[in-house]
Amino acid sequence: MKKLILLGMVAGILVSVFTIQAMAVNLTGAGATFPYPLYSKMFSEYYKKTGIKINYQAIGSGGGIRQIRAKTVDFGASDAYVDDEGLKKFSYPILHVPTAAGAVVITYNLPGNPKLKLTGRIIADIFLGKINNWCAPEIKKLNPKVKLPDLKIIVVHRSDGSGTTFIFSDYLSKVSRVWKNKVGRGKSLNWPCGLGAKGNPGVAGLIKQLPGSVGYVELIYALSNRMPYADVQNRAGNFITPSIRSVSLAADTKLPDDMRISLTDTSAKYGYPISGFTWILIYKDLKEGGLTKERAKALVKLLWWMIHEGQKYTEKLHYAPLSKKAVKKSEAIIKSITYEGKRLWR
Amino acid sequence: MEMRQDRTFKIMLWLGGISFFLLLLLIFILLFKESLYSINAFGIKFITGKVWDPVNEKFGLFPFFVGTILTSFISLFISLPFSLSLALLLSVYYKEGFINKVLSTTTELLAGIPSVIYGFWGLFFLVPLIRKVEIKLRIPPYGVGILTASLILAIMIIPYISSISKEVIKMVPQDLIEAGLSLGSTTWEVVKKVILPYCRSGIFAGILLGFGRAFGETMAVTMVIGNSNFVPENIFSPANTMASVIANEFTEATKDIHLSALIQIGLWLFVLSVIVNLIGSFIVKRYKIR
């Protein structure tokens, strides 16, 4: 008798699991932690609107790329685009759809926390350990009105691999040849000097503890924690205060059709130079990505919603919305998604 | 019927035991398999190399090895007097009563605190403290480094060492203690001449457990060690440990060789803890009173 009951229970569970799967379309995604607050807001609003549940796991961009390659998720997410070498490892072509832009700001701990102006060259030299005192002539010259203390600069960087470090080092590689040759760009670096701390909170915590320290954090983190940050000179020569607007403006430049572009050191006149997109990664042909047609349709609709209606949630959460140009290009990418060779978007 | 139950029970026990052993073996095999790529690429240079450069694909774990060994030994060294005093206090001097209740509850609570909380406490309390010391000593006042990490670890492992030592000391036969006292020894002499010699292998087992904890701790260490990939010059230097490098870089390691190098660190961490445990059980056996 007992066995019968047990058998019945198991059968019941199995049946209910299968029916739930058959009834609702659920999408799964994994990847970058940076857009996680934005995505959870977007996905919960989307669920309220359509009843489609999206399960997003913020396991990091690297993990997101690996998971979409292994086809264990419907979409991946990354703060750095997959480079040409990385693309070769995919068995089928993938697409990058940008969903928002973010930026990295230079933050510091100085008496009175004055507003500083910095150039790319100076930032590189500070993080290389070449400029190691706050009253260095290079910094003084740019900030004649600020009373800079005779204080040793303590560099604080991220110890964990992160998209933030990638954007930051990508920028420095563009503006400083020494940095490019000695350190290069990547999510984890061989830092020539300084202390490492885990995550934005770790860097912020250490900077608050150490007078004279300097580090980099995501703009959204600096804004919501009211940390001081520097204006950075862009390629056009303007000193730009990092803000949601100046980050959006960074994408006001020539964009490639596949949207795999780094916005750092942008040529946009009023764009903040340490900005970057965050992307969702999908297979160009969703059948090859292992999706059923129903899920594929739902995914395409979701992406379309994210780059249009979904954009209204960006600013409240301190992300920069996509510029008009960026939305246009992304529309074309979404329209090119196919299922068994046939276009899905009508 | 009884016999059959007896047999089923025994089979279940066996299954539990064997699956545990198999699990360990499988973990080792997986670690080895996944690190093969980096073992082939770097060979012995992986262990002796001092540069960890994921961008240019150069990987050497020596600085992290030094960091791990230094932090775990220094923390053991710091925590030992405190753990032993606590154990003796609770098992010899105050076997029950109010003081016993308060002290044993607080140590148990200490063991229950998540390591990230220790890390935050270290960052906001210990770091400024160490900084003041460093300013006095005229060394770069980072506040983070080997010593800060070791202090945090020392506090974290006190409950482990003290609770095991306490249980072991409680097992000393009352006859022996009373014999010592009746011969006219003071409590201190009984502790020194009877209790500690009787318990040394048990206490050592406790130390081993504490060492294992210090050895593999990641979160709290990462937050206060400074995460610098250089071989530390002194105990105030920022450094990094094997476990914390893995925790830091694993999620975002996109290159295969980087991932494989990180897994190889895991392999060595595994091998090292096996070695430490083997040496430990050898010593425990050797000094056991028969």
CA-nearest of A230, A196, A208, A217 to A123 is A230
Q: Are the Cβ atoms of B249 and A86 closer than 8 angstroms? A: no
Interface residues of A toward B, Cβ cutoff 8 Å, are: 59-63, 65-66, 86, 152, 154, 159-163, 183-191, 194-198, 202, 205-206, 209-210
**A43 and A88 Cβ atoms separated by less than 8 Å:** no
Number of domains in chain B: 1
- CA angle at residue A243 from A238 to A244, to 5 degrees? 125
Residues A117 and A241 in one domain: yes
Number of domains in chain A: 2
**What would the two tokens of residue A78 be?**
């990354």
Residues A138 and A240 in one domain: yes
Q: What is the CATH number of the domain that holds A302?
A: 3.40.190.10
Mean pLDDT of chain A: 90
pLDDT, residue B250, reads: 87
Rounded to 5, what percent of chain A is helix, strand, coil? 40, 20, 40
Q: Is A327 exposed, middle or buried (0-12, 13-18, 19+ CB in 10 A)?
A: middle
Q: Are the Cβ atoms of A160 and B254 closer than 8 angstroms? A: no
Q: Cα distance from B4 to chain A (closest Cα, Å)? A: 18
Residue of chain B with shortest Cα separation from A206: B123
Tell me the ipTM for this assembly: 0.83
Q: What is the CATH number of the domain that holds B56?
A: 1.10.3720.10
Residue B227 per-residue DSSP state: -
Domain residues for the domain of A9 are 2-101+276-343
pLDDT, residue A10, reads: 64
Indicate which of A57, A68, A159, A173 best probes the interface with B, i.e. most B CBs within 10 Å of its own CB: A159
B56-79 mean pLDDT: 94
Domain stop point among A240, A256, A275: A275
B54-79 mean pLDDT: 94
**B237 and B137 Cβ atoms separated by less than 8 Å:** no
CA-nearest of B223, B214, B224 to B130 is B224
For residue range B214-233, what is the model confidence (pLDDT) as tens digits? 988 988 999 999 999 999 98
Q: Which residues contact B261 (CB under 8 A, 6 or more apart)?
A: B35, B38, B42, B46, B59
Residues A208 and A66 in one domain: no
Residues A271 and A281 in one domain: no
CA-nearest of A277, A197, A222 to B240 is A197
User: Measuring CA to CA, how many Å separate A24 from each of A43, A53, B34?
Assistant: 15, 8, 38
pLDDT, residue A124, reads: 96
Domain stop point among A248, A275, A302: A275
Chain A residues with CB under 8 Å of B144 CB are: 195, 206
Residues A161 and A192 in one domain: yes
Domain residues for the domain of B91 are 2-286
Burial of A122-154, coded b for 16+ CB within 10 Å and e otherwise, reads: bbbbbbbeebeebebeebeebbeebebeeeebb
Residues A120 and A241 in one domain: yes
pLDDT, residue B240, reads: 93
For residue range A110-137, what is the model confidence (pLDDT) as tens digits? 999 899 999 999 999 999 999 999 999 9
For residue range B118-170, what is the model confidence (pLDDT) as tens digits? 998 998 899 999 999 999 998 888 999 999 999 999 999 999 999 999 989 98
Chain B residues with CB under 8 Å of A65 CB are: 254
A189-197 mean pLDDT: 93
Q: Are the Cβ atoms of B123 and A206 closer than 8 angstroms? A: yes
Residue A234 per-residue DSSP state: -
Indicate which of B254, B256, B259 best probes the interface with A, i.e. most A CBs within 10 Å of its own CB: B254
For residue range A26-55, what is the model confidence (pLDDT) as tens digits? 899 999 888 999 999 999 999 999 999 999
Residues A107 and A94 in one domain: no
A297-323 mean pLDDT: 93
Secondary element (H or E) of residue A202: helix A199-209
A304-329 mean pLDDT: 92
What are the strands of the beta sheet with A231-233, ordered from one edge?
A: A117-118, A231-233, A239-240
Residue A22 has pLDDT above 50, yes or no: no
The number of residues in chain B equals: 290
Sign, Cα dihedral of B118, B122, B125, B126:
positive
Residue percentage of chain B with pLDDT more than 90: 57
Domain stop point among A275, A305, A326: A275
